[in-house]
Structure 1
Amino acid sequence: MSTVVEVPEPGTFGLTVGGAAILAGALRRRIRKSQAPGAGA
């Protein structure tokens, strides 16, 4: 994704955004499995 905004501290900012994105993705997968069990994805 090249839509990341450049900031004075790309290290901390990147880790925070990256971690949040990973957590959000994991939560979405868990939610989908809980809401639609048996529905292959």
Structure 2
Amino acid sequence: MIRRILLATALVGITLSASACNTVKGLGQDVESVGEAGDDAV
């Protein structure tokens, strides 16, 4: 029973980590594009 709970928790953690990685990558691209737009405006 405890082994199943640990396995489920690990799978949820891995899934959330993978989706968070994509979110952070997208945020980084957004920040980069804003910086480039600022450079173009100056």
- Under a length normalisation based on structure 1, what TM-score does the superposition of the two structures give? 0.61
Q: Which runs of 5+ in 1 are unaligned?
A: 1-8
* Partner of residue 30, structure 1: 22
Q: Which runs of 5+ in 2 are unaligned?
A: 33-42
Report percent identity of matched pairs: 13
Select the structure that is richer in helix. Answer: 2
Please identify the structure whose Cα radius of gyration is greater. Answer: 2
The residue identity in structure 2 corresponding to 1:28 is A
- Under a length normalisation based on structure 2, what TM-score does the superposition of the two structures give? 0.60
Computed over aligned residues only, the root mean square deviation of the Cα atoms, in angstroms, reads: 1.8
Q: Whose relative contact order is higher, 1 or 2, with alpha carbons under 8 Å and at least 6 apart?
A: 1
Count, aligned residues: 31
